[in-house]
Amino acid sequence: ALVTGYRPEHEALEAGLAEFLERDSVVLFSSGFQANLAVATSLAGRNDHIVQDRLCHASLIDGARMSGACLLRYAHGDVMAAERQLARTEGGHTLLVTDGVFSMDGDVAPVARLAKLCAKAGSWMVVDDAHGFGVAGPGGRGIVAEAGLGQDDVPVLVGTLGKACGSAGAFVAGSRELADHLVNEARSYIYTTAMPPAVAAAGLAGLRRLTEDEWRRDKLRELIDLFRAGAESRGWRLLPSDSPIQPLLCESPEATLRLASELRERGFLVVAIRPPTVPAGGARLRITLSAAHEKEHVEQLLEAFAECLDTP
Ligand SMILES: *Cc1c(COP(=O)(O)O)cnc(C)c1O
């Protein structure tokens, strides 16, 4: 990007994202993994602390490790535990880092309460809203906007373009200063090939759909409600997720694999998630709903599940 790779398509996408997210600036990355490495390694170093939810995405964990900062993790979604870890930090500065929507559980981080902690402790809050961007919050602006928080509360907002947006790559949104700092310091921005311009153009087209097609979010909401109501009426073990990620806990990794393959035979792509991707005992099927599905699909999926669960 710094040599010859930054093209008008990138500029247009960065400007579009900044306007949509109500942030001063946006920097594009080739992937979410690289964006998270950039944030951690360029904003924290040896004398600093990174306080992180235990279920944060692997790229946030690796970024924290690479940064050389002291990594303190807290129990998933536990604001009091986060507060205790913040109290242990001294010297340097502190980043508090969380996913917005958690990718394996589908639940949402308590960002409003975490932002209050950060304000009190003088820490910077980083939210990776890869799964909330385009789906959650007012107009699809994500769970940070849903919680009524802006750039002052969450100075570093990460999102990816390979999920709801339907393209690939990622972005970090925040102040002009943050953008300049990333572009000049982040090794995972500087020493890699820029996002291809065609991918940036596809991202901008995706952003247009996200912005204009409110009906897609309405439809998705209906599908989520339909799925949850159907699963709950059958007594299945769902996690408390309000997002399109709907995990169904299974007895064992073997049972999870068996169900996934039986569903596949019936024409449903439902992914088996097993330890170590999730903690021991947490094997699950991850149902991922999309606005491209229809109600009939959800009903057929529920039926297929019922059949597969019945056969020993
Ligand atoms: C998918 C995901 C990433 C990685 O994004 P890529 O563009 O696939 O590298 C990072 N963080 C979270 C929370 C994700 O869900």
| DSSP line for 258-281 | HHHHHHHHTT---EEE-TTSS-TT
- Integer Cα distance of 207 and 16 in angstroms: 8
What one-letter code names the amino acid at 302?
Answer: L
Name the nearest CA neighbour of 243 among 137, 106, 99: 106
pLDDT on residue 132: 97
168 CA → ligand 1 middle, Å = 10
Q: Atom 5 in ligand 1: which residue has the minimum CA distance?
A: 32
Name the nearest CA neighbour of 153 among 186, 183, 182, 113: 113
What one-letter code names the amino acid at 241?
Answer: S
Q: Find out whether 264 and 297 touch, Cβ atoms under 8 Å.
A: no
| Chain mean position to CA 306 | 30
- Integer Cα distance of 77 and 108 in angstroms: 8
312 CA → ligand 1 middle, Å = 36
Query: Is residue 132 in contact with ligand 1, taking CB distance under 6 Å?
Result: no
Query: Is residue 98 in contact with ligand 1, taking CB distance under 6 Å?
Result: no
Residues 6+ positions from 170 with CB-CB distance below 8 Å: 28, 29, 30, 31, 32, 34, 35, 130, 158, 159, 160, 161, 162
The verdict on pTM exceeding 0.85 is yes
Locate tokens 């996002």: which residue? 195
Q: Find out whether 99 and 130 touch, Cβ atoms under 8 Å.
A: yes
Query: Is residue 284 in contact with ligand 1, taking CB distance under 6 Å?
Result: no
Tell me how crowded residue 51 is: count the other CB atoms within 10 A of its CB.
30
pLDDT of the chain, 312 residues: tens digit per residue:
999 999 999 999 999 999 999 999 999 999 999 999 999 999 999 999 999 999 999 999 999 999 999 999 999 999 999 999 999 998 899 999 999 999 989 999 999 999 999 999 999 999 999 999 999 999 999 999 999 999 999 999 999 999 999 999 999 999 999 999 999 999 999 999 999 999 999 999 999 999 999 999 999 999 999 999 999 999 988 888 999 999 999 989 999 999 999 999 999 999 999 999 888 999 999 999 999 999 999 999 999 999 988 765
Extract the tokens encoding 312. 């020993």
64 CA → ligand 1 middle, Å = 15
pLDDT on residue 279: 87
